[in-house]
Structure 1
Amino acid sequence: MTNLDPDLRTARPAAARLFVGTYAGGGGEGLYPLHRDADGGQWAMYAADEAAQNCSFGVYAERTGLHYLVDEHGGSVGVFRDSGDECDGWACLVRTPAGGAAPCHIALDRSESWFAVANYAGGSIMVQRLDPQTGLPVDAPIVRANAGSGPNPDRQEAPHAHWVGFSPDNRWLYATDLGTDQVLAFAFDAGNGTLGPPIVAFDAPPGSGPRHLLLHPNRPELAYLACELTSELILLDVAGPAFVARTMVSTLPADAAAGSIVAHIAANAAGDRVYVSNRGDDSIAVFALDDRGEPRLMEHVGSGGASPRFFLLLEDEKQMVVAHERDHRVTRLDIAPDGTLSPTDTGIVVPGAAFVLDARPRSRAEPPVG
């Protein structure tokens, strides 16, 4: 699918910062370094690090300098250290079962002493403690499986956990379930290592298929729910562990063809812009947030490929990097001062592209939201 120069098959630029997680089913061989020139206008892909297979999402722990990457097809989480060296590359320190099938999302708690995983096929979430010195998983994992279904027989025949995240005060673990149209909340105590039973924090509209919940980066009273199956964005007011719907808007243009579904959602650091990707319409919807957090559609911009599964905001460089799962393409959009986007000609074929990882420490670049 992609013909690499022989030199690129055996070398990795020491300065590589972006890595593309890939699906083996799409031809991906692992985690691909993506090298860019100074202005980001020319990209080169180097040989994949095969230690990280089927990496569809990951998080970085600033405290230990470790990356936690899901293996969606292998049903596990790998703990990795990136040497930053062109010879040593990524070292997998340990792999641990994810507590269910098809882990698709992972999050660290606010103290970076626990991680949580959403298992799509298993319909479960798992949390496990991390050793404070090594950052490696310790103690027995805690698994909570959901039950139920939704009205869509093709996608909601069973629970499908799709996202996990901890509340700003670290007292709650939230999870979205695409299969049951629910947002769940679990009382969480990092010190005692306890996780309460599930509470239905929000009942999403039937058949909407909640995919990702975005907790506002600066305002803990606000959250945004991206619904995959109906392509809707719901503004939620946070009321304790529960959420109350305030506003619902479409993520699609009025003339969009049928069959498009939502993928990723993220906010800028200032918390006044929200971005949502549409697979099928192959666009990024840009919303401005007013003083009350209400979303106002600014524009739809073509993502530059087919089925934009994930995007990464690089605000310091005024760029968005988008991974497309259908045509195995990674593209660049430019971010204007007002937060709107502009397509560019910059892109590269990456077989099985699913996720883009920023290997820089968090102190220099925040990881993807949601």
Structure 2
Amino acid sequence: MDSGDIVDGTDPGGGRRAHIGSFTSGGGHGVTTASVDPHTGALTVLSAVGSVEDPSYLAYARDTGVLYAVSEGERGAVAAFRSTAGGLEPLGPAVHVGGSGPTHLSTAGRRLFTANYTSGSVSSLPLAADGAPGGPASVLAHRGSGPDAGRQERPHAHQVLPDPTGRWVLSVDLGTDSVRVCALDPATGALRVHAETALRAGTGPRHLAFHPGGAVAYVLHELEPQLTVCRWDAASGRLDPVAEVPVVSGAAAGVVRPYPSAVAVPSDGRFLWTAVRGTDAIATFSLAGGAEKPQLTSTVDCGGSWPRDLVADASGRRLYAANERSGDVTWFDVDPQTGRPVRAGSVPVPAATCVVFA
């Protein structure tokens, strides 16, 4: 597949689109666009754009209809695209973010944020009225380290996202075993650390997801297969850990080292899912006992190898796993009673890294 080639000119999804990131350095095609069948959730690849190096994470802004992609290189950058009938069209040139190795990005209002893993920082970029990003308004450098000398020798910001109110910006740092709560200056766009929540040393927090109720957040750790349940107080900007929950069974962890990657919670808040690389599994947790009490109920195969990302569709009835090493995106139907994913199909996407829906 060459950059920008249309693989299938039809759109059986009736206009619904999914965008899939992939590592170009690993043979991926960049940003792949697929249609989504409204009845089955099946993906059909339509086109790909290879102009961005290693777009390891994507974000879609619904208010402007703009898709953003990080470029996870030494000189980190972000690119913006608008979706057209013929595929994705760049919304101006890529913009450097002032940090290296960005692995995540998100938007809030007229701001875009990137988590720069290699340099251990978070960047705040302004967005024009049409959604085009400008140069960074601020770059907030993290400080600290962790006990794992190979992975935590310095800060490694892995995720940055606004809280449900949009008042705070949270950054998850694998290298410092902490989550920083940042305040955003509305005039300048600069980020300022308001509070820092310390998590257990050596666990390597990677990603965070909020429960739709807004008062609970779940932090997934990469260096230990754990999920930390936290209370979130939006009024004070406080994140307080209350419990740790294993995401793999002891038997599974003893066979191969697990590397959890992604956590997803549907809009109805009934379940929680985690993807785990190494064991190549998706774990289902019931939240029937309350948002603070996830209970592991089942574990299924991810449908491929090394699930780097896991996302639920808007209905919460389907899950999509981006399996990096097997080079595919696999989708699952979710049992409405148990939340257990049932494999329904897959599509080849070399070196797949993430999935977002437009």
1:174-323 correspondence runs (5 A): 174-191=170-187, 193-196=189-192, 198-219=193-214, 221-239=215-233, 240-256=236-252, 257-289=255-287, 290-316=289-315, 318-323=317-322
Q: In 2 relative to 1, CA 69–13 (structure 1 residues): closer, same or farther, beyond 3 Å?
A: farther
Deviations 1:225-266 (A, max 9, x none): 111110101111124223221111100123112411110111
- Give the counterpart of 2:145 among 143, 149, 165: 149
The amino acid across from 1:30 in the alignment is G
Residue 250 of structure 2: SS of its match in structure 1? coil
The Cα shift of 1:70 comes to: 0.9
Which amino acid is the alignment partner of residue 82 of structure 1? S
Tell me how far 1:43 sits from its aligned partner: 5.0
CA distance in structure 2 between the partners assigned to 1:227 and 1:261 by the alignment? 8
Query: What's the CA shift string for 1:19-65, capped at 9, x where partnerless?
Result: 32110122112222334556448654344222344222122222222
Counterpart of 2:177, as a letter, is D
More displaced, 71-80 or 27-36?
27-36
Correspondence for 1:122: 119
Match of 2:83, as an amino acid? D
Q: Assess, with a 3 A threshold, how the Cα gap between structure 1 residues 333 and 140 changes in structure 2: closer, same or farther.
A: closer
Of 248-257 and 340-349, more deviation after overlay is shown by 340-349
1:312–1:356 CA contact under 8 A, matched in 2 = yes
Deviation of the 1:276 alpha carbon: 0.8
Is the contact between residue 225 and residue 235 of structure 1 (CA under 8 Å) also seen in structure 2?
Answer: yes
Distance (whole Å) between structure 1 residues aligned to residue 189 and residue 144 of structure 2 = 27
Deviation at residue 341 of structure 1 after TM alignment: 2.5
How far apart are the structure 2 equivalents of 1:140 and 1:212? 23
Cross-structure match for 2:31: 31
Q: 1:172 Cα shift?
A: 2.0
Task: Find the aligned partners of 1:47 and 1:125 in 2 and give their Cα distance.
Answer: 31
Q: Tell which deviates more after alignment, 317-326 or 245-254.
A: 317-326
TM-score, scaled relative to structure 2: 0.89
Per the alignment, do residues 67 and 233 of structure 1 end up closer, same or farther by CA in structure 2, a change over 3 Å counting?
same
Q: 1:218 to 1:42 in 2, by over 3 A?
A: closer
CA contact (8 A) 2:107 2:113 kept: yes
Distance in structure 1 (CA, Å) of the matches to 2:135 and 2:341: 48
Q: Which runs of 5+ in 1 are unaligned?
A: 360-370
Contact 1:303–1:322 (CA<8 Å) still a contact in 2?
A: yes
Aligned pairs for 1:59-138 within 5 A: 59-73=59-73, 75-83=76-84, 85-86=85-86, 88-109=87-108, 112-131=109-128, 133-138=129-134
Deviations 1:105-145 (A, max 9, x none): 11112xx21111100111000012222x2222346520011
Which runs of 5 or more residues in structure 2 are unaligned? none
AA matched with 1:268 = P
Which residue type is aligned with residue 91 of structure 1?
P
Q: CA deviation at 1:152?
A: 0.9
Q: Cα distance 1:274–1:255, how it changes in 2: closer, same or farther (>3 A)?
A: same
1:179 and 1:28 map into 2 onto residues whose CA distance is 27
Report SS of the residue matched to 2:30: coil
TM-score, length basis structure 1? 0.86
Distance 2:205 2:121 in 1: 15
Change (3 A) 1:339 1:53: farther
Measured after TM superposition, the shift of residue 167 of structure 1 is 2.4
Instruction: Report the number of matched residues.
Output: 347
> CA RMSD of the aligned region, Å?
2.4
Percent sequence identity over aligned pairs = 30
SS of corresponding position for 1:137: coil
